[in-house]
Amino acid sequence: MADADLRTLIAGAGPIVAMPQPSVPPADLQRSLNTLVHGTTVIAVKYDGGVLNVGDRRATANYSVMYDRAEKVLPIDDYTLLAISGSYARAMEVVRYLRHSFRYFERSQLQPMSLDGKLAELAKVVAASLPAALQGIGGFIPVFSAYDRVSHEGRIFFYDAMGARFESTDYAAAGSGSYQIRGVFNYIVKTRGPFHEMSRSEALREALLMLDIAADLDAATGGWSKVLPLAKTISAEGIEDVAEDELAAVTAEISALER
């Protein structure tokens, strides 16, 4: 059977659709792949009053540490946080787009975009990244946190690479170190109770402990020996940074457990 006939038999009557190909020569593409910067582990947990987001500060390219002060938890508007992992360049592009999109909607429609609308906008840009992700040059996975002013509660959503949306009841994580700590979430919930019943300080300690475990088990996740991790909360009062002195005290307490 000829190759053309075989393709027709497999595909049926419809056309054969080819995946997009890189527009740069293979040698140039390989050099680009070696210098692409990726973010690593981010964690979101609920607490009694809102949602806490933490992330390490390391950005990697292949096996090299390119930057150790990366911002991986970024505000989109007054009540929305995006924690990013994967392609740092693509994530920054998405953050800029979402900020503009949400602001434009509010100014043109004279009302804020609904939470469902925000989630749908993010789903579109995640799905649009799939061709680049399949080529290994532009995939990213976000964790979306918001304070819902209708139901008066913090909410956490995560996505797969095709833009499918899932809501978490208590926590979510993304990045290379998230796989190593999946069981830790369950252990904490079963031994210390749900995150959404914890105080802010309790949730912060548990989230930073998980980040420390991820750094121990994943080479791409940075610890805090040089730079403190990033932590932000979102609640009815809006978005707030966790102060560096509070982060320093909690990380010192966790480090003391290892001695």
- Residue 45 pairs in a beta bridge with 52, 171
Task: Give the integer Cα–Cα distance in Å for 196 and 207.
Answer: 13
Q: What is the band of 61 on the pLDDT scale with cuts at 50, 70, 90?
A: confident
Question: Which ranges of the chain would DSSP assign to H, the alpha helix?
Answer: 3-11, 26-35, 88-109, 115-128, 130-134, 182-192, 200-217, 244-257
Active site residues per annotation = 40
* Separation CA 121–CA 249 (nearest Å): 38
Q: What tens digit of pLDDT does each residue of 17-55 get?
A: 333 334 444 444 444 444 455 657 899 999 999 999 999
Q: Percent of the chain, pLDDT > 90? A: 53
The residue type of 228 is L
- The stretch 63-84 carries a mean pLDDT of 88
Query: Are 235 and 49 a contacting pair, CB within 8 Å?
Result: yes
Q: Is the pLDDT of residue 127 over 60?
A: yes
Q: What is the pLDDT of residues 229-249, one digit of tens each?
A: 999 999 999 999 999 999 999
Instruction: Give yes or no for a contact between 189 and 225, defined as CB atoms under 8 angstroms apart.
Output: no
Nearest CA among 200, 109, 97 for reference residue 142: 97
Domains of the chain, earliest start first: 41-257 (3.60.20.10)
**Identity at 252, one-letter amino acid code:** A
pLDDT of res. 140:
80
Query: How confident is the model at residue 184, as a pLDDT?
Result: 93
pTM: predicted TM-score of the whole model, two decimal places: 0.80
